[in-house]
Amino acid sequence: MDAIKVENLTKKFNGLVAVDQISFSVENGELFGLLGPNGAGKTTIINMLSTLLRATSGYGEVTGFDISKNEDDVRRSIGVVFQEPALDTKLTGRENLEFHAMMYGINKEKRRERIKEVLELVELSERARTLVEKYSGGMKRRLEIARGLIHWPKVLFLDEPTLGLDAQTRRHIWDYIKKLNKEHRVTIILTTHYMEEADYLCDNIAIMDNGKFVALDTPEKLKDILGGDVVSLEIKGNSDILMNQFKKWDWIKTMTKHDEVLSMTMEKGERRIPELINAAQENGVAVTCVHLRKPSLEDVFLHFTGRTIREQESSHIDRNKEMIRWRTWRRR
């Protein structure tokens, strides 16, 4: 049985489609990633699957329970680490876990044993009696993960678990997440807009944009879609003439133009660079810089949407501002 099953799940807010008829499944023990810019619909999916939001239409099932009919059963079987901090900073780490365990009705003896286990798991045993207000950002995140695990959930939702953390701390959190998934066999649904985070952690990734899935597969297969190496030419001149020339060469698998950079995928890219530069010179186009690398998930996102994830985030911010202005105007 799959840990999660979703069919045509949709959520609308006052006519705005936040999640648009998505379908996917997650196997038991899988680490599944929802990758996309802020505003793409990732958190809305988490909120529907965790029963915090009711879907407009479609079907969702978590550990065999219908998210619209068996809310209590779903909640007992999941743990959630929210994007926004949700700890009581005036309590110690242990007291935060104690309170959460009591909310789930765990008796005193099991509570004491479980708190000890999860504190050891996230390496906070020595700071258990320290007030949370004195914790670093990384320590608070680790405590939130421990709290999400306190009641032995079958599925753990992590909504942007490393948002705002420095690179070193982020990498440590990745290690805890990997350990939870691989050693403790916890099914994990992770949302992120960090490409490298999804690539490092996830067994399967759904790339989201404007409430839809634009691609879904393993990180390796998603990058293989592009085929071979990525060669990028920074150019000055008539790019249309050059692109028409390149389209005639069947060894160029994909081609996208972004600002003044022409990016192509091909096998053995290092051997093809001289041909590309010669073609540019013959067509009166200056090549100011050449880059050669392996495909990344950013390339995959660009391939499917025509824009980088940062540009998509900007467009989502602009759209949200327009919605706020429109609602303000209506209230006048």
321 domain residue, yes or no: no
pLDDT of residue 160: 94
Same domain, 269 and 211: no
Segment 32-53 mean pLDDT:
95
Segment 102-106 mean pLDDT:
93
pLDDT of residue 306: 77
- Write the CB contacts of 306 (distance below 8 Å, at least 6 apart in sequence): 256
Q: Which one has a higher pLDDT value, 124 or 305?
A: 124
CATH number of the domain where residue 59 is located: 3.40.50.300
SS3 per-residue string spanning the chain: CCCEEEEEEEEEECCEEEEEEEEEEECCCCEEEEECCCCCCHHHHHHHHCCCCCCCEEEEEECCEECCCCHHHHHHCEEEECCCCCCCCCCEHHHHHHHHHHHCCCCHHHHHHHHHHHHHHCCCHHHCCCEHHHCCHHHHHHHHHHHHHCCCCCEEEEECCCCCCCHHHHHHHHHHHHHHHHHHCCEEEEEECCHHHHHHHCCEEEEEECCEEEEEECHHHHHHCCCCEEEEEEEECCHHHHHHHHCCCCCCCEEEEECCEEEEEECCHHHHHHHHHHHHHHCCCEEEEEEEECCCHHHHHHHHHCCCHHHHHHHHHHHHHHHHHHHHHHHC
Of the residues 172, 196, 218, which one is the last residue of a structural domain?
A: 218
Same domain, 236 and 162: no
Confidence class for position 307, pLDDT limits 50, 70, 90? confident
Same domain, 233 and 105: no
Q: How far apart are CA 133 and CA 228, in angstroms?
A: 49
In which domain, by residue range, is 237 found?
Answer: 227-294
Domains in the chain: how many in total? 2
Same domain, 245 and 214: no
- In terms of Cβ atoms closer than 10 Å to its own Cβ (0-12, 13-18, 19+), residue 285 is buried
pLDDT > 70? residue 314: no
Query: Considering the entire predicted model, what is its pTM?
Result: 0.82
pLDDT > 70? residue 57: yes
Q: Which one has a higher pLDDT value, 11 or 14?
A: 11
pLDDT of residue 332: 45
Segment 214-227 mean pLDDT:
91
Confidence class for position 237, pLDDT limits 50, 70, 90? confident
Q: Is the dihedral of CA 11, 31, 305, 22 positive or negative?
A: negative
pLDDT of residue 318: 52
For 188-210, what is each residue's pLDDT tens digit? 999 999 999 999 999 999 999 99
* Mean pLDDT of the chain, nearest integer: 90
pLDDT of residue 316: 55
Q: How far apart are CA 225 and CA 308, in angstroms?
A: 17
pLDDT of residue 258: 83
Confidence class for position 4, pLDDT limits 50, 70, 90? very high
For 145-183, what is each residue's pLDDT tens digit? 999 999 999 999 999 999 889 999 999 899 989 988 998
Of the residues 218, 244, 270, which one is the last residue of a structural domain?
A: 218
pLDDT of residue 228: 86
Long-range CB contacts for residues 272-278, cutoff 8 Å, separation at least 24: 272/231, 273/231, 276/231, 276/233, 276/246, 277/233
Same domain, 76 and 111: yes
254 domain residue, yes or no: yes
For 257-286, what is each residue's pLDDT tens digit? 888 899 999 988 999 999 999 999 999 999
